[in-house]
């Protein structure tokens, strides 16, 4: 109850205080390229309910016809202003509207598109027990995700094989560790863009194969067995432990 109340108060204050920024971004988007100010997309929320997420549009208006759901670094569909917004995560600001509407929280697992969540039904049943959020510890670790995926031979396979399992591990681990102080720390680290990030080396570690994952990625959504693959996360934990000892 306290978390929801604080979400409402902070989201309302944020929308009011940031309204000049919203207006400035809206004008810049309109001057830069044709299309709406906001990008809306279907995502999974609390209990698996579908909702439409708000973002500032960062791509050309017909981006869905020029490529898939996944966006990687150097994507030609990203506009000049959109690139700036994505680089500084300003495209996520309109999700304060989703928070105010009760579809999202300030801190929580990032809302996934159904086509990817359907690959991991067991994990997402647990993850969707809480409201998705604008930011999360996993968001901070993977804030360079687009660049990491751009450096791989198959970004879609890398996202499903490596990135999603690592993020899900973090989401599930955090379910039992939620607290006001942890949320405050995550918000502060998000604003000031501090903390560790996953490296390309972390993503290329050898990890156990997840059954049916390749065929699912190529042939459409299909249920995948429980995830035991989270080497990228373990690599970060190992580095932290080593640095603490040193």
Q: Where are the domains of the chain?
A: 2-245
CA distance readout (Å), 99 to 27, 33, 96, 137: 24, 28, 5, 18
Query: Helix (H) and strand (E) counts for the chain?
Result: 15, 4
Neighbouring C-alpha atoms within 13 Å toward the C-beta of 96: 18
Q: Are 136 and 108 in contact (CB under 8 A)?
A: yes
Joined tokens for residue 196: 């560790």
Q: What is the mean pLDDT of each run of 10 residues along the chain (246 residues)?
A: 93 97 98 97 97 98 91 94 96 98 97 94 94 96 92 91 91 88 92 83 54 34 43 52 46
3-class DSSP state of 54: strand
DSSP state of 94: T
| Predicted local confidence at residue 207, as pLDDT | 46
Joined tokens for residue 236: 């970060």
DSSP state of 140: H
Q: Are 78 and 117 in contact (CB under 8 A)?
A: no
| Predicted local confidence at residue 234, as pLDDT | 54
| Predicted local confidence at residue 228, as pLDDT | 44
| Predicted local confidence at residue 159, as pLDDT | 93
| Predicted local confidence at residue 193, as pLDDT | 84
Cβ atoms within 10 Å, residue 90: 19
pLDDT tens column, 199-237: 877 766 544 433 333 333 334 444 444 444 445 555 555
3-class DSSP state of 164: helix
Cβ atoms within 10 Å, residue 233: 20
| Predicted local confidence at residue 198, as pLDDT | 84
């Amino acid at each position: 109850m306290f978390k929801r109340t604080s979400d409402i108060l902070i989201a309302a204050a944020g929308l009011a205080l940031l309204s000049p920024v919203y207006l400035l971004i809206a004008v810049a988007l309109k001057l830069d390229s044709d299309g709406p100010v906001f990008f809306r997309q279907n995502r999974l929320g609390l209990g698996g309910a579908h909702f439409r997420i708000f973002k500032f549009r960062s791509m050309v208006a017909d981006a869905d016809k020029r490529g898939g759901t996944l966006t990687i670094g150097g994507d030609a569909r990203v506009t000049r202003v959109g690139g700036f917004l994505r680089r500084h995560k300003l495209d996520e600001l309109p999700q304060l509207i989703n928070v105010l509407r009760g579809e999202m929280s300030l801190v929580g697992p990032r809302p996934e598109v159904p086509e990817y969540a359907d690959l991991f039904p067991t994990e997402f049943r647990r993850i969707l027990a809480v409201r998705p959020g604008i930011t999360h510890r996993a968001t901070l670790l993977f804030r360079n995700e687009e660049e990491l995926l751009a450096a791989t031979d198959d970004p879609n396979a890398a996202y499903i094989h490596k990135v999603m399992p690592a993020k899900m591990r973090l989401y599930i681990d955090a379910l039992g560790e939620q607290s006001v102080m942890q949320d405050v720390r995550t918000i502060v680290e998000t604003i000031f863009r501090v903390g560790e990030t996953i490296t390309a080396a972390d993503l290329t570690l050898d990890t156990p194969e997840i059954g049916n994952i390749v065929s699912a990625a190529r042939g459409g959504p299909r249920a995948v067995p429980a995830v035991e693959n989270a080497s990228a996360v373990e690599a970060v934990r190992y580095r932290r432990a080593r640095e603490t000892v040193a």
